[in-house]
Amino acid sequence: MLESQGLELELDFGLFPCYDWISTPGNTVNWWKLCWNSLNVPKSSFIYWAVMLGRLLTRDRLAKMGDPTSMECYLCQGADESHGHLFFECEFSRKCSDLVQQKLTIRLNPRALVEWNKRGRRLSILRRRMVCACYVMVVYLIWQARNKARTMFTVIHPKVIVQQAIQAISIRFWARNKAPIKEEDISWLNSLRSS
């Protein structure tokens, strides 16, 4: 099992619960819209999907598989690394979340992004899709930052994570959008360019 430590994701698809999820009629998950948002960068959708299923090889999972090394979080060294800690509780992730919310001029609980997307009807669909895609990209980049910290012993600044996420999603939006955009959304989108 230790040989698989260098992989980003467990590759034994036989262990994935997705087979049951796909094969059981009516057994749907509430985060699929976030996962398959067309503004998502595809690799970020895949990592987000794995996060939602708790399938990344975080240190708590490796420990259960017999890895005797520390479970300490690579990004903050302040707690054991688990999906919950890495993406929601870690000081590093919280900072990323605060910064992306500042930039997107929204306020939400990252653990309740699905509910926010349902409730946030006063925002345009365009903004909600952009916000969700940016958050999914941030999750992907946090995982990348964690892997870089593991292999290169260096931690990327949360500001860089947020800049990369917003830039990547903005580029996808402007390359794909053919629909007319409301004036208020244009000024919001332009405000993201200065990130």
| Interface segment toward Zn ion; rule CB under 5 A; list 7-15, 82-90, 101-109, 164-172 | 82-90
CB-nearer residue toward Zn ion: 75 or 168: 75
Q: Which two tokens stand for residue 189?
A: 């989108």
Q: Minimum distance between the CB of residue 149 and Zn ion, rounded to whole angstroms?
A: 10
The site string for Zn ion over 48-77 (x = CB under 5 A, - otherwise) reads -------------------------x-xx-
CA distances from 111 to 83, 87, 88, 169, 186 (A): 12, 9, 7, 21, 28
Task: Tell whether residue 134 is a contact of Zn ion (CB under 5 A).
Answer: no
By CB under 5 A, is residue 123 in contact with Zn ion? no
Residue 91 and residue 78 in contact, taking contact as beta carbons nearer than 8 Å = yes
C-alpha 77/C-alpha 72 separation (Å) is 6
Residue 73 has what DSSP assignment?
-
96 binds Zn ion (CB under 5 A): no
Reading the block at residue 163, the tokens are 């800049």
Cα angle for residues 71, 136, 88 (degrees, 5° grid): 40
Tell me whether residue 130 or residue 145 sits nearer to Zn ion (CB atom): 145
170-189 footprint of Zn ion as x/- string (CB under 5 A): --------------------
- Contacts to Zn ion by CB under 5 A: 73, 75-76, 90
